[in-house]
Structure 1
Amino acid sequence: MRLLVTRPDEDAGGTIAALEAMGHEAIASPLLTIHPIADAEIPDEKWQAILITSANGARAAGAHPDFETIKFIPVFTVGTASAEAAREAGFASVTTAQGNVETLTALVVSRLDPSAGPLLHIAGSVIAGDLKGGLEQHGFQVERVTLYEAKVAGHLPEAACEALMSGAVDGVLFYSPRTAATFAALVKSAGLGAALKPVMAYCLSQPVAEALDGLPFRDVRVSEEPGQGALLSLIGN
């Protein structure tokens, strides 16, 4: 199969390699670009733990000038990809919730004590879910620091346009509601909606699928779990 991968370049490499190992052809079509905010200030606090909800957040933390001051603080991540990125960035202690914001909230509540100190949430400029609000309901103090910005593309990547217009796309992979919504807007703007009729959409979660509402995909399939392994299992060999 020929599949569009809509992830940012920083995240797409592993996905493309996995698809090629399965015998598919992957077409890189990033709809977001990641821009670290190097001058963002990380407050000097006695943090109980750090919460990371994306691989890009982990990478941005690792590249931050103050990383050495936080690298030994325990880290809790939303999923496997963010956990791997946190370890690669140099964090010494990483635990993953292997799910979404809700499972991360539950993990933190079960492992940490609100009275033991504040939590640092490393995030991007656009946030999915309300991790801070959910934890504050359980008495935790959470401070969010924005270390990167994810900017949406102004038009569909040329490779994606050419593949859709020529009928050379069998499916599109979507990992976030924002990416899916961006794809929907750009496809409509380019007048390529009809090109999606023979195309499958593979979505990481139900909110991702809902962001594609109105597009005439042949079918929209949703992963049973919010992880890349489960998403790729929808495609098969």
Structure 2
Amino acid sequence: MRPLVILRPEPGAGKTAERAAELGLKARIIPLFVPRAVEWDAPAPDRFDALLLTSANAARLAGERLADYRTLPAYAVGRATANAMQEAGFAQVIAGDGDGTAIARRIAADGHGHVLHLAGRTVAPVDGGALRIDRIVVYEMLRTRDDRLAERLEPDSVLLVHSPRAGEVLAQLVGPRQRASLHLIAISPAALAACGSGWASAQTPDKPDDERMLALALRLCE
């Protein structure tokens, strides 16, 4: 069985590893980043029609001021982010099953015009169309200090890449010769493109979520 390597940060990495173990996969966690909360000024909730989060880390790290927005219609880019918002006290969250642009279109279709987007310092582009989106940074991802990733990867490993930024770092740390012995599963086409070329195999799920990534990994690892 091919080994599975999870490159995403905690706590998401642990949840991915738990699900992988349930599927019978042997997974290692080698996070490329560590999330850290940043100070932010919370605008008045009555300025907005809805709240959008595109990362579960935003729900976990926004702090106590996140509760100010529980009265707003709440949207999440996917189920994992929606679960984190519910854990933070949001009773009802509408979860998308695509990217940020897809959920932005859903928000606009629901009749909202002005949205507060709480996000990380680095975020995938969101095409809101006519939707007005005010983005506020509530957390950032810090690179881990260990640059020995290439030395720790066994040949024929399957790597899970959960963001374009992780793909960029992976491309910096793993050279062309070693890539030919490694397999990639990236959460989105953008994440896959950031990894560069030359991998033994490279694919994305039909929709960007952890379960679909692991379904691909199960077929590839066996």
Question: 2 CA distance for matches of 1:153 and 1:99?
Answer: 28
Alignment partner of 1:235 out of 201, 213, 217 = 217
Q: 2:45, 2:68 within 8 Å by CA — same for their partners in 1?
A: no
**RMSD across aligned positions (CA):** 1.8
Tell me the percent identity. 25
Counterpart amino acid of residue 202 in structure 1: I
The 8 Å contact of residues 155 and 182 in structure 2, kept in 1 or not, is answered as no
Measured in 1, the distance between the counterparts of 2:67 and 2:192 equals 39
CA distance in 2, matches of 1:201, 1:141: 36
Q: CA deviation at 1:168?
A: 5.6
Q: Which consecutive aligned stretches of 4+ in structure 1 deviate over 4 angstroms post-superposition? A: none
Paired position in structure 1 for 2:162: 175
The aligned residue for residue 163 of structure 1 is 152
Matched ranges for 1:57-206 at <5 A: 57-61=58-62, 64-114=63-113, 118-130=114-126, 134-135=127-128, 137-138=129-130, 140-156=131-147, 160-164=149-153, 167=154, 170-188=157-175, 193-206=176-189
Q: How many angstroms apart in 2 are the aligned matches of 1:174 and 1:183?
A: 9
* CA distance 1:161–1:221, change in 2 (3 Å): same
1:213 to 196, 207, 213: 196
Give the superposition deviation at 1:205: 1.5
Q: Using the TM superposition, give the Cα deviation of residue 198 of structure 1 relative to its aligned residue in structure 2, in angstroms.
A: 2.4
Structure 1 residues 182, 34: closer, same or farther in 2, change over 3 A?
same
- Relative to structure 1, the CA distance from residue 29 to residue 169 in structure 2 (aligned partners, 3 Å threshold; closer, same or farther) is farther
Q: Offset of 1:124 from its aligned partner?
A: 0.7
Q: Which residue of 2 aligns with 1:42?
A: 42
From the superposition, tell whether residues 31 and 185 of structure 1 become closer, same or farther in structure 2 (CA, over 3 Å).
same
Rounded Cα–Cα distance in structure 2 between residues aligned with 1:84 and 1:45: 22
Task: Tell me if structure 1 keeps the 8 A contact 2:59–2:81.
Answer: yes
Contact 1:72–1:93 under 8 Å retained in 2: no
Q: Which residue in the other structure is 1:223 paired with?
A: 205
- Looking at structure 1, the residues matched to 169 and 89 of structure 2 have their Cα atoms a distance apart, in angstroms, of 32
TM-score by length of 1: 0.84
Q: Deviations over 1:121-171 (max 9, x none)?
A: 1011111013xxx33x32x33221110011223443x5x44532xx36521
Alpha-carbon offset, residue 186 of structure 1: 1.9
Asked if the contact 2:45–2:72 (Cα under 8 Å) also holds between the matched residues in 1, the reply is: no
Aligned mates of 2:125, 2:79 — CA distance in 1: 18
Contact preservation (8 Å) 1:72, 1:92: no
1:169-206 per-residue CA deviation (whole Å, 9 max, x = no partner) reads 52100111110111111224xxxx43332221111111
Rounded to whole Å, the distance in 1 between the matches of 2:28 and 2:150 is: 11
